[in-house]
């Protein structure tokens, strides 16, 4: 997609504060090549709303009452791998940025970013590139990620907990309303990250780490 | 504590009063009883003696009957015979004998002192000032009776109480009597009295002993209770303290959330509204007024300030990403500020811990890093979080100078209030806390049993799943 494209970039806003959404909408309405097609309050509603409005870019808040934006990001990426997620948050730590990238986000900007920069960020991620706000980028440079420690994403951890309680991939797929193939993909990632290759070991690991209760 | 002391005092007073009452009661009872017993015994013994004397008299009368019955009113031969017979009737060693006086007080028979025969004793007064012979004659004339009086005892040559029975031989006008000395009766009574007294003393001793041992037992139990109660109340105070800390953390988290998710969001929305206003004005080809620019700048400052306050109250990263990432952010910030290198290891899983354990361990890291910055003079620090062997273990190490004083013989630990509070907080969550320090560095280890959090993750997921389905 490029800036000269006749069809504007479809934007969905995910934020539990309607006032913030309204303020941002007001600012973005001055740009002709983007259109706000949907909005929702919480991570649990993201997938449903996205299915209706099929956005190109989702502006995602992190702190939300029920399910945070990072988990919601993973869930969107399972079903809509081509949809770009731009995190739009108040949180400034590099840990949030790392987690966002791990979850599949294409960019990370702070909520007090000027609307002009928000616009630029949207355009950049819509083109398939990454965008990090200027202060965020600095922070990432200052603390290079530690590649030795493979951590599970929130979604992977949830799926591991289901595996550990004895559910089959099919059952998990049904519970989480995703395809069996997606579950299997997660399962492979989990095994590879934890360096474990059989189910019994996986269950034992989950119990040992206190993810599920053995009792 | 004062309550248990009061109870103890009350019990001791009770025991003392009971013992005192029993003591007085028993003493009185025994005295009454012993007086009664002695009196009864005396009466019994005297009665026995009286019976004895009557019997002796009967025997004596029987032994003279064959002469007296046939004798005339004035019969010196028969009288001589009878006097001889009565003189020989001796019993009970030398102290049992018969004496005879005529009705005017002249002695006729007195085997112990025969030289008194023929002398008149009508006016003789005994030690009580009574005319002994007159009374004996009076008793005899009245048909025979007993008389107790002090009299010389032949066997011991002392004045002893004597009990005598006198009878009358009317034909001759003779008073015939015999008596026993009551010294052995007195002795018997004294020995009985002594036995009773001993018994009383024993009882008194037992009462005192029981009272003293009761008081001792009360004091012992009281002291034990006191210490157990103190321990118990100390524990309760500790728990209360932890509850207050927990509440405080909850409150801080709540305020932090209100600031971060409420007020800051409103300010952000205002910021975008102001921007939209600016854009609108630009569209109208109107230059941005200065007050609008100022408002935007002030607003940005306000947002920054409130975020800083919110973070200071409670790190939101702890709730959103879990302890590992919060710890890492803390370590990074610490490293940038102090130039002390920090290495962090953390488990592959995250957000396994309930809020209270999360914030407690976070505070452990925070406090430890602060101590390192202030005192340790370290160049390297490591923070390790691992779940192994049923324990979540947080270890913070530094290569500083340690917390010992530079005295090799007696290393005294400077564990400040902060460290003690941390230990209490960790223990409150069923955990363990250990601080070891040498001149090569300090190690803080906080451990939480897996059972304290193993249920948390799945429980927390359930409501979200229920909503998402």
Structure tokens at A157: 């951890």
A184 and A124 in one domain?
no
A84 and A170 in one domain?
no
Say which CATH number the domain at A164 has. Answer: 1.10.10.10
Burial code (b: 16+ CB inside 10 Å, e: under 16) for B116-133 equals: eeeeebeeeebeeeebbb
Q: Report H helices in A68-114.
A: 69-79, 94-103
A173 and A91 in one domain?
no
A127 and A45 in one domain?
yes
Question: Is residue A73 a contact partner of residue A52, using CB atoms and an 8 Å limit?
Answer: no
- Cα A132 to Cα A146: distance, rounded to the nearest angstrom: 19
Residue B167 lies in a domain: yes
Give yes or no for residue B275 having a pLDDT over 80. Answer: yes
A159 and A118 in one domain?
no
Residue B25 lies in a domain: yes
B99-112 average pLDDT score = 90
A135 and A161 in one domain?
no
Residue A95 lies in a domain: yes
Residue A27 lies in a domain: yes
Lowest-pLDDT range, A141-155, B100-114, B209-223, B333-347?
A141-155
Residue B412, pLDDT score: 42
Question: Is residue A39 a contact partner of residue A13, using CB atoms and an 8 Å limit?
Answer: yes
A26 and A131 in one domain?
yes
Residue B395, pLDDT score: 96
Residue A215 lies in a domain: no
pLDDT digits (tens, 9 = 90+) for B417-458: 577 788 888 988 889 999 988 888 999 999 999 989 888 888
Residue A149 lies in a domain: no
Which domain-ending residue is among B188, B217, B234?
B188
A164 and A109 in one domain?
no
A109 and A167 in one domain?
no
Structure tokens at B292: 């609008």
Residue B433, pLDDT score: 93
Q: Under an 8 A CB cutoff, do B276 and A214 touch?
A: no
- What is the Cα Rg of chain B in Å? 57
pLDDT digits (tens, 9 = 90+) for B310-345: 999 999 899 899 999 999 999 999 998 999 999 999
Residue B19 lies in a domain: yes
Structure tokens at B402: 């340690």
Q: Under an 8 A CB cutoff, do B350 and A157 touch?
A: yes
Which of B348, B362, B390, B469 to mutate against chain A (most A CBs within 10 Å)?
B348
pLDDT digits (tens, 9 = 90+) for A19-59: 899 989 988 988 989 999 999 988 888 989 999 999 999 99
Which domain-ending residue is among B143, B166, B188?
B188
Give CA separation, A11 vs A19, A37, A39, A86, A117, in Å: 17, 6, 9, 10, 15
Q: Under an 8 A CB cutoff, do B268 and A30 touch?
A: no
Give yes or no for residue A60 having a pLDDT over 90. Answer: yes
- Cα B139 to Cα B168: distance, rounded to the nearest angstrom: 9
Residue A147 lies in a domain: no
B162 and B17 in one domain?
yes
Give yes or no for residue A68 having a pLDDT over 70. Answer: yes
For every residue of A142-160, DSSP letters joined together read HS---TTS----HHHHHHH
Give yes or no for residue B214 having a pLDDT over 80. Answer: yes
Say which CATH number the domain at A88 has. Answer: 3.40.50.2300
Structure tokens at B12: 């001791």
Q: Which of A92, A93, A208 sits opposite B387 (nearest CB)?
A: A208
Q: Is A91 on the interface with B (CB under 8 A)?
A: yes
B174-199 average pLDDT score = 86
User: What is the value of pTM for the model shown?
Assistant: 0.68
B9-30 average pLDDT score = 85
B59-75 average pLDDT score = 87
* CB within 8 Å of chain B, chain A residues 39-78: 44, 47, 62-63, 66-68, 70
Chain A partners within 8 Å of B347 (Cβ): 209
Say which CATH number the domain at B357 has. Answer: 3.30.565.10
pLDDT mean across residues, chain A: 88
Say which CATH number the domain at B67 has. Answer: 3.30.450.20
Q: Under an 8 A CB cutoff, do B348 and A151 touch?
A: yes
Confidence label for A6 from pLDDT (cuts 50, 70 and 90): low
* Minimal CA separation from A157 to chain B, in Å: 7
Q: Under an 8 A CB cutoff, do A44 and B468 touch?
A: yes
Which domain-ending residue is among B156, B188, B220?
B188
Phi/psi at B414 (5° precision): -90, 80
Residue A213 lies in a domain: no
Chain B partners within 8 Å of A210 (Cβ): 352, 387, 392, 450, 453-454, 456-457
Residue A82 lies in a domain: yes
- Report the number of distinct structural domains present in chain A: 2
Confidence label for A174 from pLDDT (cuts 50, 70 and 90): very high
A113 and A160 in one domain?
no
- Report the number of distinct structural domains present in chain B: 2
Burial of residue A198 (CB within 10 Å: 0-12, 13-18, 19+) is exposed
For A47, name the nearest residue in chain B, comparing CA atoms only.
Answer: B468
Residue A3 lies in a domain: no
Short-list B409, B410, B318, CA closest to B366 = B318
Residue B207 lies in a domain: no
Residue B257 lies in a domain: no
Query: Would you give the DSSP letter of residue A8?
Result: P
Q: Which of B279, B352, B457 sits opposite A27 (nearest CB)?
A: B279
B369-386 average pLDDT score = 90
Q: Under an 8 A CB cutoff, do B351 and A157 touch?
A: yes
pLDDT digits (tens, 9 = 90+) for A112-137: 888 889 999 999 999 999 999 887 87
Chain B partners within 8 Å of A40 (Cβ): none
Which domain-ending residue is among A89, A117, A142?
A142
A133 and A38 in one domain?
yes
Which domain-ending residue is among A142, A172, A192?
A142
Instruction: Convert chain B into a string of H (helix), E (strand) and C (coil).
Output: CHHHHHHHHHHHHHHHHHHHHHHHHHHHHHHHHHHHHHHHHHHHHHHHHHHHHHHHHHHHHHHHHHHHCCCCCCCHHHHHHHHHHHHHCCECCCCECEEEEECCCEEEECCCCHHHCCCECCCCECCCCCEHHHHHHHHHHCCCEEEEEEEEECCCCEEEEEEEEEEEECCCCEEEEEEEECHHHHHHHHHHHHHHHHHHHHHHHHHHHHHHHHHHHHHHHHHHHHHHHHHHHHHHHHHHHHHHHHHHHHHHHHHHHHHHHHHHHHHHHHHHHHHHHHHHHHHCCCCCCHHHHHHHHHHHHHHHHHHHHHHHHCCHHHHHHCHHHHHHHHHHHHHHHHCCEEEEECCCCCCCCCHHHHHHHHHHHHHHHHHHHHHHCCCEEEEEEEEECCEEEEEEEECCCCCECCCCCCCCECCCHHHHHHHHHHHHCCCEEEEEEECCEEEEEEEEEHHHCCCHHHHHHHHHHHHHC
* B120 vs B6 pLDDT, higher one: B120
Which domain-ending residue is among A119, A142, A165?
A142
Query: Would you give the DSSP letter of residue A104?
Result: T
Residue A188, pLDDT score: 92
The boundaries of the domain holding residue B106 are 2-188
Q: Which of A70, A152, A214 sits opposite B349 (nearest CB)?
A: A152
A121 and A160 in one domain?
no
B108-115 average pLDDT score = 88
The boundaries of the domain holding residue A195 are 154-208
Residue B392 lies in a domain: yes
Residue B282 lies in a domain: no
Q: Which of B303, B352, B458 sits opposite A209 (nearest CB)?
A: B352
Q: Under an 8 A CB cutoff, do B458 and A210 touch?
A: no
The DSSP bridge partners found for residue B345 are B384
pLDDT digits (tens, 9 = 90+) for A70-100: 999 999 999 999 999 999 998 888 889 988 9
Q: Which of A67, A115, A210 sits opposite B453 (nearest CB)?
A: A210
């Amino acid at each position: 997609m490029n800036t000269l494209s006749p069809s504007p970039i479809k934007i969905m806003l995910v934020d539990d504060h309607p006032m913030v959404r309204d303020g941002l909408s007001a600012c973005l309405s001055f740009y002709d090549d983007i259109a706000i097609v949907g909005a929702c309050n919480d991570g649990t509603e993201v997938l449903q709303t996205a299915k209706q409005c099929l956005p190109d870019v989702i502006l995602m808040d992190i702190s939300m009452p029920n399910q945070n934006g990072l988990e919601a990001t993973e869930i969107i990426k399972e079903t809509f791998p081509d949809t770009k997620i731009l995190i739009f948050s108040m949180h400034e730590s590099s840990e949030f940025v790392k987690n966002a990238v791990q979850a599949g986000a294409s960019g990370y900007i702070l909520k007090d970013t000027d609307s002009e920069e928000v616009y630029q960020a949207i355009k950049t991620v819509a083109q398939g590139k990454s965008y990090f706000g200027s202060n965020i980028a600095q922070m990432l440079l200052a603390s290079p990620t530690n590649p030795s420690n493979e951590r599970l994403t929130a979604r992977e951890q949830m799926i591991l907990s289901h595996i550990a309680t004895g559910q089959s991939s099919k059952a998990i797929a049904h519970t989480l309303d995703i395809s069996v193939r997606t579950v299997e993909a997660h399962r492979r990632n989990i095994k590879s990250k934890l360096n474990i290759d059989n189910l019994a070991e996986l269950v034992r690991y989950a119990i040992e780490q206190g993810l599920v209760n053995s009792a | 504590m004062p309550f248990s002391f009061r109870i103890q005092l009350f019990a001791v007073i009770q025991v003392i009063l009971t013992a005192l009452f029993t003591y007085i009661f028993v003493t009185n009872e025994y005295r009454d009883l012993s007086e009664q017993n002695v009196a009864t015994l005396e009466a019994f013994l005297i009665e026995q003696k009286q019976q004895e004397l009557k019997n002796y008299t009967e025997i004596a009368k029987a032994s003279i009957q064959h002469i007296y019955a046939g004798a005339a009113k004035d019969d010196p031969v028969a009288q001589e015979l009878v006097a001889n017979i009565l003189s020989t009737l001796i019993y009970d060693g030398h102290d049992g004998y018969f004496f005879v006086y005529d009705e005017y007080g002249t002695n006729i028979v007195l085997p112990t002192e025969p030289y008194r025969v023929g002398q008149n004793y009508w006016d003789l007064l005994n030690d009580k000032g009574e005319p002994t012979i007159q009374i004996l004659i009076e008793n005899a004339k009245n048909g025979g009776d007993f008389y107790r009086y002090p009299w010389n005892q032949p066997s011991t040559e002392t004045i002893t109480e004597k009990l005598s029975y006198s009878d009358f031989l009317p034909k001759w006008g003779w008073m015939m009597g015999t008596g026993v000395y009551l010294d052995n009766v007195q002795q018997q009574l004294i020995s009985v009295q002594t036995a009773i007294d001993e018994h009383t003393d024993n009882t008194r001793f037992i009462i005192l002993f029981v009272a003293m041992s009761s008081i001792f037992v009360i004091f012992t139990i009281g002291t034990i209770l006191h210490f157990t109660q103190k321990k118990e109340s100390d524990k309760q105070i500790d728990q209360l303290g932890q509850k207050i800390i927990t509440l405080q953390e909850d409150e801080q988290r709540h305020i932090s959330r209100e600031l971060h998710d409420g007020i800051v969001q409103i300010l952000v929305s205002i910021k975008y509204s102001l921007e939209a206003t600016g854009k609108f004005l630009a569209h109208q080809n109107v230059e941005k007024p200065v007050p609008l620019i100022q408002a935007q700048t002030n607003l940005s400052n306000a947002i920054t300030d409130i975020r800083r306050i919110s973070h200071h109250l409670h790190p939101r990263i702890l709730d959103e990403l879990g302890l590992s990432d919060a710890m890492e952010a803390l370590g990074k910030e610490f490293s940038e500020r102090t130039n002390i290198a920090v290495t962090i290891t953390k488990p592959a899983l995250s957000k396994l811990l309930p809020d209270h354990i999360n914030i407690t361990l976070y505070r452990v890291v925070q406090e430890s890093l602060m101590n390192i910055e202030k005192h340790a003079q370290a160049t390297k620090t490591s923070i390790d979080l691992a779940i192994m062997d049923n324990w979540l273990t947080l270890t913070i190490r530094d290569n500083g100078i340690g917390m010992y004083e530079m005295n090799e013989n007696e290393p005294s630990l400077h564990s400040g209030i902060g460290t003690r509070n941390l230990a209490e907080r960790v223990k409150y969550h069923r955990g363990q806390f250990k601080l070891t320090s040498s001149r090569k560095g300090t190690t803080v280890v906080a451990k939480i049993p897996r059972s304290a959090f193993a249920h948390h993750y799945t429980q927390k997921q359930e409501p979200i799943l229920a909503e998402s389905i």
